[in-house]
Structure 1
């Protein structure tokens, strides 16, 4: 059972996180200082660093939660599913649970607005790509274990995850360019793009166009 002290610490962390994301999305990541985040919550800079290693840590705190949820969702998929189907179902069927996870920390719309900030901020985009590569390696090893293959001898786990990761990045970029920043919009776009992977990789695009 949580103590009063633990609940207070959790509330402080959530307040700092929300203040950080609000400032990042309204005035820009580069123009926001740790002092401003701390001041918004009426705590000291020292208190901020008790909860976050720095601005980047705060910027990706909620995303880290969703990444952990996705890894767990892949691990929980039925053994009979093909690898790409397991990845697809983990992301699409887990959407409501991911939303719930996000909303324990910040409003979902704030999390979604932060995606646009990440895409438009070079330092954050670079960090996002590094984080994505690390998550993809974790998933590749998980798929290899589930399929009973050696991830370092068989390229298929990393290839499957690379394709899936590329679809997710294309989805994020196209969604960020649109006017509808809702969770439903990104979910629909994700499903649509995953449906087109087979055609994109093996289809005859000219023949499809001519018909």
Structure 2
């Protein structure tokens, strides 16, 4: 059971997180200081650094949690599933749980706004791509372990993850360009795009 001290610490961390994302999305990441984030929660700069190493860490705090949840969901998929199906089902079937995790920290609307901020901020976009590459490598090694292959000699795990990540990247970008795109629309679009991977890669695109 969570103690009173632990509850207070969790609430302070979540308050700092929400305040940071609000400031990043309203006045810009580059124009927001740690002092402003701390002041918004009525704590000291020193308190901020007890919870986060800096602005970049707090900017990606929610994404860190959702990515870890997705990796865990892939790891939990039935061993008989083909790799691409395991990735697809982990994403789609784990959607509600991941959404609930986000909502326990920040409003989903704020989470989506933050993604648009990441897309439009060069420093954050570079960090996002670097972090995504690390997550993709984790997933590739997980798939290789599931399938009993060597990730360093068999290209298929990295190729499968690259294709899957590319689809998610496309749908996330679509979401970032349209403010009327909500979580369910993103899930539906992702499912539709994943269903087209086979024909997109091997089919003839030209009309008969």
What is the TM-score with the length of structure 2 in the denominator? Answer: 0.98
CA deviation profile, 1:140-186 (whole Å, cap 9, x unmatched):
00000000111111110000001111111111111211232310111
1:181 maps to 181
Query: After superposition, where does 1:47-196 map in structure 2 within 5 Å?
Result: 47-196=47-196
Once superposed, which parts of structure 1, at least 4 consecutive aligned residues long, lie more than 6 Å away? none
Q: Distance in 2 between matches of 1:153 and 1:174?
A: 35
Task: Give, in whole Å, the separation in 1 of the partners of 2:92 and 2:57.
Answer: 26
Whole-angstrom CA distance in 1 between matches of 2:81 and 2:98 = 21
- Judge conservation of contact 1:113–1:181 (CA < 8 Å) in 2: no
SS of the residue corresponding to residue 70 of structure 2 reads helix
Deviations 1:177-200 (A, max 9, x none): 123231011111111111111121
- Secondary structure in 2 matching 1:190: helix
Secondary structure of 2:152's counterpart equals coil
Within-5 A mapping of 1:26-41: 26-41=26-41
In structure 2, how many angstroms separate the alpha carbons of the residues matched to 1:73 and 1:192? Answer: 20
Give the count of matched residue pairs: 208
Partner of 1:14: 14
Gaps of 5+ in 2: none
Work out whether residues 175 and 189 of structure 1, in 8 Å CA contact, stay in contact via their aligned partners in 2. no
CA contact (8 A) 1:66 1:101 kept: yes
Moved more, 84-93 or 171-180: 171-180
Secondary structure class of the residue paired with 1:205:
coil
- Matched with 1:203 is 203
Counterpart CA distance in 2 for 1:85 and 1:143 is 11
For structure 1, list consecutive stretches of 5 or more residues without a partner in the other structure.
Answer: none
Matched, 1:44 2:56: no
Q: CA deviation at 1:70?
A: 0.1
Name the Cα RMSD after superposition. 0.9
Larger deviation: 86-95 or 195-204? 195-204
Q: TM-score, normalised by structure 1?
A: 0.96
**Residues in 1 aligned to 2:47 and 2:136: alpha-carbon distance in whole angstroms:** 33
Q: Any conservation in 1 of the 2:112–2:176 contact (CA below 8 Å)? A: no
Q: Which moved more, 1:68-77 or 1:104-113?
A: 104-113
